[in-house]
Amino acid sequence: MVKISVTDTSGASRDIDAEAGLSLMENIRNNDFDDLAAICGGCCSCCTCHVYVADGWMDKLPCREDDEQYLLEDSPHYKGDSSRLSCQIEVDEGMDGLKVTIAPES
Ligand code: FES
């Protein structure tokens, strides 16, 4: 298991035991964070799985593909490098200690 700290849109934080091989979005949803809507189910077409990655973690995650970048830049809550679509990040063992915050709903 991979420990990931998730902060919801109210500011409450909780550590989850994430499963490697699933997306970050799936792991957050599987741990009952209802404010991550993820309405497209991970098809990279909705931006409702937007999270902010804590400082120091951006370079340790897989790079954004163009589709992800375009969706994020269209979001009113886009915050540059820290913004990611959680459905586009597959969790692996190297992400132990990752901290993310769920972005406000667009
Ligand atoms: S769940 Fe729709 S873009 Fe991630």
Q: How far apart are alpha carbons 32 and 16 in whole angstroms?
A: 10
pLDDT at 106 over 90: no
Q: How far away, in angstroms, is 96 Cα from ligand 1 center?
A: 22
- 105 vs 19: which has the higher pLDDT: 19
Give the position, in ligand 1's atom list, of the atom nearest the Cα of 88.
Answer: 4
CA distances to 12, 26, 60 from 33, in Å: 11, 10, 24
* pLDDT score, position 31: 97
Atom index in ligand 1 nearest the CA of residue 45 equals 3
- State pLDDT tens for residues 36-51: 999 999 999 999 999 9
pTM of the predicted structure, to 2 decimals:
0.96
Q: What is the CATH number of domain 2-102?
A: 3.10.20.30
Q: How far apart are CA 21 and CA 77, in angstroms?
A: 28
> In whole angstroms, how far apart are CA 40 and each of 45, 57, 96?
6, 25, 27
Sequence spans of domains, the chain: 2-102
